[in-house]
Amino acid sequence: MATLILVRHGRSTANTSGVLAGRTPGVTLDERGTAQAAALPGRLAGIPLAAVVASPLERCQETVRPLLDARPGLALHTEDRINECDYGDWSGRKLAELMDEPLMKVVQGHPSAAAFPGGESLRAMQYRAVDAVRDWNARIEAEHGADAVYAMCSHGDVIKAVVADALGLHLDLFQRIHADPCSVTAIRYTAQRPFLLRLGDTGDLAGLAPHGTPAGSDAAAAAASGAAEVGGGAGAP
Residue 1's pLDDT is what?
Answer: 79
Task: State the average pLDDT over residues 45-64.
Answer: 96
Instruction: Identify the pLDDT of residue 50.
Output: 96
Residue 231 vs residue 59, higher pLDDT:
59
The predicted pLDDT at position 101 comes to 96
Sketch the domain layout of the chain as residue ranges: 3-225
pLDDT digits (tens, 9 = 90+) for 69-108: 999 999 899 999 999 999 999 999 999 999 999 999 999 9
Q: Please indicate whether residue 15 or residue 217 has the higher confidence score (pLDDT).
A: 15
**pLDDT of 159 above 70:** yes
User: What pLDDT, on the 0 to 100 scale, is given for residue 204?
Assistant: 62
The pLDDT of residue 214 is above 70: no
Mean pLDDT of the chain: 91
What is the structure's pLDDT at 48?
93
Q: What kind of fold does domain 3-225 have according to CATH?
A: Rossmann fold (3.40.50)
- The reported pLDDT for the residue numbered 22 is 96
Is a pLDDT exceeding 60 seen at residue 19?
Answer: yes
In sequence order, what E strands does 48-191 have?
49-54, 76-78, 149-154, 184-189
Rounded CA-CA distance 172/175 in Å is 7
Task: Inform me whether the pLDDT recorded for 205 exceeds 60.
Answer: no
> Which one is predicted more confidently, 212 or 11?
11
C-alpha triplet 226, 164, 160: angle, nearest 5°? 60
What's residue 219's pLDDT?
Answer: 53
Is pLDDT at 137 greater than 80 in this prediction?
A: yes
Q: What percent of the chain clears pLDDT 90, i.e. is strictly above it?
A: 83
Give the pLDDT confidence score for residue 215 in this predicted structure: 52
pTM recorded for the entire structure:
0.87
12 DSSP assignment: B
Q: Of the candidates 128, 145, 42, which has an alpha carbon nearest to the alpha carbon of residue 80?
A: 128
Q: Return the exposure string of 50-87: e unless at least 16 CB atoms fall within 10 Å of the residue's CB, then b.
A: bbbbbbebebbbbbbbbbbeeeeebeeeebebbbbbbb
Report whether pLDDT(135) > 90.
yes
Give residue 203's pLDDT.
Answer: 86
